[in-house]
Structures are given as structure tokens and as C-alpha cells.
Amino acid sequence: MESDELIDIDIADLNDMLSKIETSFHIKFTETDNKHVKTFGELCDVIVNKIEGNHVNDCTTQQAFYKVRKAIIATQHWEKNAVKPDTKLAKVFPRKHRRKLVKKFETALGYKTHLLEPKMWLSTFQILATLASMVTIFFSPLYGFTGLALCISSGWITIKLSKELNLVSVQQLVERVTREHYMTIRRNPCTVNRAEIIPQLKELFKADLSLDDHAVRADAPLF
């Protein structure tokens, strides 16, 4: 969902984002944590205060690159110096064996990367077919529910057989891994570079909720 303001984001999408933050930064929100939070900056303050670990002035993205490179080398016949930030993922994961290679890579890395997606036209068709089935329910429940069931099952199969990469380079993959697994990707998960936290939170919101820099400013209204 695209929006110019954070306050316009659907509450369900926002709750999903909070769950991702919990996973990435190894924290747990309580019912009272966000009770008085009104802006993006206040939410960031809550998150920063909940993150445990000694401050270390190092680069988590760099550490993520080393782990991504190690996983590529471990699962494929690549030389260490051949894996660079600008290396194309289409070269790392050739289409013919892409699903198998991505699965092996994720196993070696230890995280799901959500690298694969269906073709755009197929996703669009699935959405339109689902909407058509929902409308049909009002006129013919039998056909409507049957169509909806077929859309759900075919959608599941489509996702399982997806081969399209949704990122272009190793650098983009490294940035995604850093956002979604910040604490785990660090060399020492008991440490944290606190100067990185708010920038990483901004990138996480921007990437997952299709927001721009203006929407994740400190005074941006959240609720």
C-alpha cells in the first residue's frame, strides 16, 4: 500500500511492521508501550530504549555483507573476491535452478530472504480474479465461493513456484537482511550500534510500507 503519510497506513499493516521490529531487534512490545506514542519519533524512542546490548561503534551492514557472501560461497562455486555489493542476483541465482539455489542459500544464511515473487501479470490476474469472485458471491454464492477457493489455492501454488527476483543486487539483499534481522546478523548479537537504530527503523518503514523520507520524519503523526 502506498501512502504519503504514516498516519494513513492501515492498522493491520502497522501491526505487522511492529512484529517485524520485534523480530529484527529482539524486543517485545507490551500493551502500555505505545499507549502514549503519537509520532514516529516517539515510537523510535520507545524502541531504542527497549533494545539491550552494549554499544559498539561498528557497521552492521558490513557484517551482513560478509555473512551473505559466506552463504553464497558455501552453497555455490563462487570465489570470495567475485561476490561484491554490485553483483547481480540474477547471476548469483540463475533462473534455471533459482528456487533450489535460493533455498540452499537461505539455509546457509539462517534466515528467510523473501527474494522470490510471481510475475507481475500473474499477481495482477490473481487479484482481479479474487475480486471478481467476491462480487459473484452476492449474485451466485456457489460460483462465488468456488471461484474464491480456486483463487486461494492457485495463489498458494503460484507463490510456491515463484521464480522472479524482487531485488537486483547483493547490496540490496544485504540491506534487507540488515533491516529484518538486525540483532542476529551482527557478529556479536549481545552488542548494538545505537547510532544505526533510527536510520534502520526508517529504512524498514520506507521499504515495507512504501513511504518516503517525509513520512518518517520525527514529528510525523502515527495514530
Mind listing the pLDDT tens digit of every residue in the chain (223 residues)?
445 688 888 889 989 999 999 999 999 998 887 778 899 999 999 999 999 999 999 999 999 999 999 999 999 889 999 999 999 999 999 998 999 999 999 999 999 998 997 666 555 655 666 777 787 888 788 867 786 677 576 655 555 557 899 999 999 999 999 999 999 999 998 999 999 999 999 999 999 998 999 999 999 998 7
| pTM to 2 decimal places | 0.81
Burial of 219 (0-12, 13-18, 19+ CB in 10 A): exposed
Q: Is the Cβ–Cβ distance between 189 and 183 less than 8 Å?
A: yes
Residue type (1 letter), 80: K
Residues 41-58 as b/e (b if ≥16 CB within 10 A, e otherwise) read: eebbeebeebeebeeeee
Element holding 116 (H helix, E strand): strand 116-117
- Give pLDDT, residue 59: 96
For the chain, domain boundaries: 6-57+191-216, 60-117+163-175, 120-160
Q: Distance between alpha carbon 4 and the CA centroid of its chain, in Å? A: 20
- Give pLDDT, residue 160: 58
Distances (CA, A) of 107 to 100, 113, 115, 160, 204: 11, 10, 13, 17, 23
